[in-house]
């Protein structure tokens, strides 16, 4: 029977029990603006569907029309959510964060951690174990350690006592504790000993990311030549761009080899600075991240942090008593909506930056797009980019109430 092109009432089945499903909706991220759905076969996308294509009569149907189907977003910088943090707490906390993130359209993430040496050493084996298990939510694709080889001069919300000078030995201990699950580390290349550490990260399969850094323009260019591939929350907690001292920001914007993270929550970076970044880097070199903290997904208000003062949560951001931004609480789909509505970024480009580019960066060839053969990691969104349902490896892990 042919798939009808006209909208039908949205009727969404529960988690697929069959092997093959026709998933109907406007498809973004297929490199083809004309697809009206795709065939889901087990954990994979089998083929795209166009008007008039025949479908097998015994295939199930997941009809999301008139809504949008997009590749699941991949967040390489997220500390937690739903009241839980990747850096501490039991394994159930991590599962809770992954379930929360699925409700925002995210299907894969790097658990991002900061902390004292002992805290890192406790969190790494826990997260490695969880990365090896299937989760009922966004998949744990690995770990991003934000530090400890970063610069107290650009501490942002990271406690300076947790920072240490770069050491190949310490890097090896972190790598061993994580059993190879560290996929990304934030590093300040201007610190003594940073270059050998950056080079070792590359051989260990870790993406070095410049951040919490006071590096000069020249130091950034040299660091990229030595293996740095990305920046951590570009503009935030790094030496700014001045016309005679282009700084860390200038190096990142100027060097086409390097990917740039952007927290597009409307608070961390001014809309004009976001536009500068998008113009300089282009969508194929921009990675949208949340930098979401444990308070993401919780109601607005004041939260006490034992031993660390209070946090005020509101308008998508967490602010400490001294006025420092302590990470975002804005969900990634909200950030996508802001970029679309305030900067006019097309939907295809949004999902390139939130799904395809992070997949490229992590060398996940079957993720980040809805092309034939790709992993069936996707989400359905309404016109306001509210997430309606999320699938990981063909299994529904979230459905809007």
Active site residues: 291
Q: How far is CA 119 from CA 16, 124, 143, in A?
A: 40, 9, 14
Select 265 or 291, whichever has its Cβ closest to Zn ion: 291
Select 65 or 154, whichever has its Cβ closest to Zn ion: 154
**Closest approach of Zn ion to the CB of residue 120, in Å:** 14
**Closest approach of Zn ion to the CB of residue 90, in Å:** 22
Query: CB under 5 A: which stretch of 123-131, 216-224, 286-294, 332-340 binds Zn ion?
Result: 286-294
Query: CB under 5 A: which stretch of 134-142, 198-206, 259-267, 291-299 binds Zn ion?
Result: 291-299
What is the C-alpha separation between 401 and 390, in angstroms, rounded? 12
What is the C-alpha separation between 345 and 226, in angstroms, rounded? 33
Q: Residue 313: enclosing H or E segment and its boundaries?
A: strand 309-314
Tell me the residue number closest to Zn ion, measured at CB: 291
**Closest approach of Zn ion to the CB of residue 347, in Å:** 27
Select 146 or 377, whichever has its Cβ closest to Zn ion: 146
Query: CB under 5 A: which stretch of 146-154, 214-222, 251-259, 347-355 binds Zn ion?
Result: 146-154
Per the listing, tokens 């993430």 go with: 109
Phi, psi of 378 (to 5 degrees): -155, 170
Q: Which residues on neighbouring strands pair with residue 1, listed in sequence order?
A: none
Q: Any contact of residue 75 with Zn ion (CB under 5 A)? A: no
Query: CB under 5 A: which stretch of 125-133, 142-150, 170-178, 274-282 binds Zn ion?
Result: 142-150
Q: How many residues bind Zn ion (CB under 5 A)?
A: 2
Select 155 or 340, whichever has its Cβ closest to Zn ion: 155
Contact between 258 and 252 under an 8 Å Cβ cutoff? The reply is yes
Contact between 69 and 27 under an 8 Å Cβ cutoff? The reply is yes
Select 49 or 362, whichever has its Cβ closest to Zn ion: 362
Which residues inside 326-365 make contact with Zn ion, applying CB under 5 A? none
Q: Any contact of residue 291 with Zn ion (CB under 5 A)? A: yes
DSSP secondary structure string, 136-188?
Answer: SSSEEEEEEEE-SS--GGG-TTS-GGG-----HHHHHHHHHHTTT-EEEEEE-
Binding site for Zn ion (CB under 5 A): 146, 291
């Amino acid at each position: 029977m042919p798939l009808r092109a006209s909208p039908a009432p949205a009727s969404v089945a529960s988690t697929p029990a069959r092997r093959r499903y026709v998933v109907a909706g406007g498809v973004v991220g297929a490199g083809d603006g004309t697809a009206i759905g795709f065939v889901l076969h087990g954990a994979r996308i089998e083929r795209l569907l166009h008007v008039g294509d025949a479908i097998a009569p015994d295939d199930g149907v997941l009809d999301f029309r008139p809504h949008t189907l997009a590749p699941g977003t991949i967040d390489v910088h997220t500390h937690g959510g739903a009241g839980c943090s990747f850096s501490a707490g039991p394994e159930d906390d991590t599962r809770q964060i992954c379930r929360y993130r699925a409700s925002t359209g995210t299907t894969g993430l790097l658990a991002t951690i900061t902390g004292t040496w002992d805290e890192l050493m406790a969190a790494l084996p826990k997260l490695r174990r969880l990365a090896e298990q299937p989760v009922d939510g966004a998949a744990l694709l690995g770990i991003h350690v934000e530090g400890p080889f970063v610069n107290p001069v650009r501490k942002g919300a990271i406690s300076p006592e947790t920072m240490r000078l770069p050491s190949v030995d310490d890097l090896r201990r972190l790598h061993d504790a994580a059993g190879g699950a560290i996929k990304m580390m934030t590093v300040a290349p201007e610190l003594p000993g940073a270059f050998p550490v950056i080079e070792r990260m590359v051989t260990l399969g870790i993406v070095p990311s410049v951040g919490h850094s006071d590096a000069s323009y020249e130091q950034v260019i040299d660091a990229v030549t030595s293996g740095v591939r990305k920046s951590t929350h570009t503009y935030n907690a790094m030496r700014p761009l001045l016309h005679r001292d282009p700084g860390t920001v200038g190096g990142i914007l100027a060097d086409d080899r390097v990917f740039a993270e952007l927290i597009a929550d409307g608070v961390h970076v001014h809309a004009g600075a976001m536009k500068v970044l998008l113009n300089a880097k282009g969508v194929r070199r921009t990675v949208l991240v949340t930098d979401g903290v444990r308070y993401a997904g919780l109601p607005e208000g004041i939260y006490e942090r034992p031993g660390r003062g209070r946090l005020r949560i509101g308008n998508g951001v967490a602010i400490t008593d001294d006025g420092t931004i302590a990470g975002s609480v804005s969900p990634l789909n909200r950030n996508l909506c802001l970029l679309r509505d305030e900067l006019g970024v097309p939907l295809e480009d949004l999902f390139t930056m939130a799904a395809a580019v992070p997949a490229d960066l992590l060398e996940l060839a079957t993720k980040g797009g809805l092309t034939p053969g790709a992993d069936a990691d996707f989400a359905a969104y309404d016109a306001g980019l509210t997430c309606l349902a999320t699938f990981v490896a063909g299994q529904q892990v979230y459905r809007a109430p």
